Amino acid sequence: MQLRLYLAIARRFWLLLLLLPLIAGAASFAVAMNRAEQYGASARIMVSQAPLDSATTAELPDYNNSYSWLTSEYILDDLPQVVTSAAFAEDVRAAAAAAGYDLALPAIQSALRAEVLHRSVVITAVAAGPDQALAIVRGAISALETYGLKYWNRAPASGGGLRVAVLDPPGGGAPVGSLRDLVIDVGLRVTLALAAAIGIALLLHYLDDRLRNARQAEQWTGAQVLAVIPKEK
């Protein structure tokens, strides 16, 4: 019986259930097609703290190396926040300028992201052009190698205090997004719009206090309907 009620509500509000998803899908598709094309670049690196005294050969256990690896865990926990900071973006901007790219600070800060898996870090950048995206990633690696622990206010007297090993060199410069991503994005928005339309239809049905059929009259009054006067044509 409930299924019949839901089908009756769907038939009553069919225009709402049809138009809202269509409008959402068309708007999403139009926005995606008019969006400026962006390019992404990425690099995978290993980051660890340099031992405080790497020239000394310690007897086992080597506490110098042990504490270096232990401290690296704390550094890697903070690295995603460091990479998206204004201080880091400023150093990346200087490195990119030295390579011949004049990039705005907000663009660099919003473009950079870092994802940590164990001690490996994937640095990604999204920019308006492929060369700019590559320049930002290279600048990020250079900033970590040059300044290192400066972002934690713990830079040693010489060097940055971090060891940065490049596992996968900066590469990419490929367009961000594909037809599959577009279809998924539009499909998701259409689904959400359909869910919203169903919710609005149920709400309108709940707020409607008009009698529409004999069954509804029986439910409201508790009396049995003996006859129904047909609607005049």
Least confident of 17-21, 44-48, 51-55, 119-123: 51-55
User: What is the rounded average pLDDT of the residues 55-84?
Assistant: 74
Does the pLDDT of residue 198 top 50, yes or no?
A: yes
pLDDT of 101 = 86
CB–CB of 38/175 below 8 Å? yes
Least confident of 47-61, 113-127, 139-153: 47-61
CA distance 204 to 198: 10
CA distance 26 to 111: 28
Does the pLDDT of residue 24 top 80, yes or no?
A: yes
User: What is the rounded average pLDDT of the residues 93-101?
Assistant: 89
Q: Dump pLDDT digits (tens) for 123-167.
A: 999 888 888 889 999 999 999 988 988 898 887 656 678 888 999
User: What is the rounded average pLDDT of the residues 182-191?
Assistant: 86
Location of each CATH 3.30.1890 domain in the chain: 39-175
CA distance 162 to 144: 7
CB–CB of 188/21 below 8 Å? no
pLDDT of 118 = 79
The CATH number of the structural domain formed by 39-175 is 3.30.1890
Which of 8, 48, 53, 36 is CA-nearest to residue 156? 53
Mean pLDDT of the chain: 82
Q: Tell me which amino acid residue 42 is.
A: S
Q: Dump pLDDT digits (tens) for 78-96.
A: 999 999 999 999 999 999 8
For the question of whether the overall pTM of this predicted structure is more than 0.95, the answer is no
